[in-house]
Structure 1
Amino acid sequence: MSKTILITGASRGIGAATARLAGARGWAVGVNYAGNAEAAAATVKAVEAAGGKAIAIKGDVAEEADVIAMFDATEAAFGKLDGVVVNAGILDVAAQLADMPVERLRKVFDVNILGAALTAREAARRLSTGRGGNGGSVVVVSSAAARLGGADERIDYALSKGAMDTMAIGMSKELGPEGIRVNSIRPGLIVTDIHASGGQPERANTLGGGTPLRRAGTAEEVGEAIVWLLDDASSYVTGALLDVTGGR
């Protein structure tokens, strides 16, 4: 069955991999991006090459008007939504909380917490059967940092991801009667360029050898789990926190 999916932060990493995998199932994908239009266009082409449909939609998830606009654009192109992946997120360089300026905290929390809440709120409004939606699935892309804590690196990031887990659990209880399943994916050491943006491009590969599987994970491996949660195959799964961490 074809589905219409919106993925925030889909121009790179886990978001882009999820979009490609959705395309391989013949789904239509709204590819949201914040600034890199070239990368977003490449994701659109990859979705189409895989057999799906896609459009690129620029928008800042921390801005309410942008969030509403990206939902509007996806539905205008492909019809009512069946799923939303709350994926857009940022991190900063490694530091202890005692050394983090308030500007850093606000930036991380605006994107990772406020942005996630605005996206999830709009998903609830669009998907709820009681509001005229089809029902469906919301997948929140959290992090293993939510339970590991991020000490000496990024407590701010870990804190924001813990908030996302809490949101997913609460929303699963609110929205189950509305035909919506809500789950959280918690990736571990995954090879994506988000590590470079945090000043540690080799972090995943360096630390991945210490996992029980003795390697870092790939964006595609996380994407497979996300697509499973979007698909009807996971129809009795909601309120789950699914670790994709190689056992870490």
Structure 2
Amino acid sequence: MPFTPLCPSCRQPTEIRRFAASTGGTLELDLCFACQGMWFDPQENTRLAPAAVLELFELLHQHRGDAHHPLADRLRCPRCSQALAKGYDVAQGGRYVTYRCAARHGRFSTFGSFMVEKGFVRHLSTMEIEALAERVGTINCTSCGGTVDIRHDHACPYCRSALSLLDPQAVDKALARHGSAARQTAPADAASPDALADALVALERNRAREERARQRERLEGTRSDEFDLLTAGIEMVWSLLRR
């Protein structure tokens, strides 16, 4: 009987997806869209091909309306069931959270942390944060998912990551750096802070409206006071990649 890994957080069976590897061939990743996380066996996080990242964008976009729940306080390795150790790494995209198995079976990353690790984000400027703060009260940290009141904090109070945006120009640069021809997209940082804030709010509003329509029968819906910066960034990137 084939082994079905369980999500380190919710302990439900993960979806096993096959992606192209940068060294040739394929590799399998265990994805949990409910927890917005993925499990990497040793070294898998460094072997994902650039083309596979675009495929991953498409998957994240397809599941943008899925119900999400916070990570459990205690995460367990899907291979040995030992508790995962929470830690921090720093990459070109900034500081991000990761959870590792002490027995070296692999690591668990949220979708946001993976994007930070691969450099698909850029930090928001002070002016952009202030423009966004005029429109929304709190956002979810791209790295750890924690709630940040951007009216008072310009960094995540939980993991101390800078506030970052998954942005088309950053994606182009990262894909080029990983050995793939970058797609030509409109540079998001060329827009004014107010224009960027308006675009993000509009994208997130549309996503929330779609989610509420799909989940009318659920007792709980999207919280209107939390703004999902990662999802809005995915929407922005995907809309330009598909042009």
| TM norm structure 2 | 0.29
Which structure has the higher relative contact order (CA within 8 Å, separation 6+)? 1
Between Structure 1 and Structure 2, the one with more strand by share is: 2
Between Structure 1 and Structure 2, the one with more helix by share is: 1
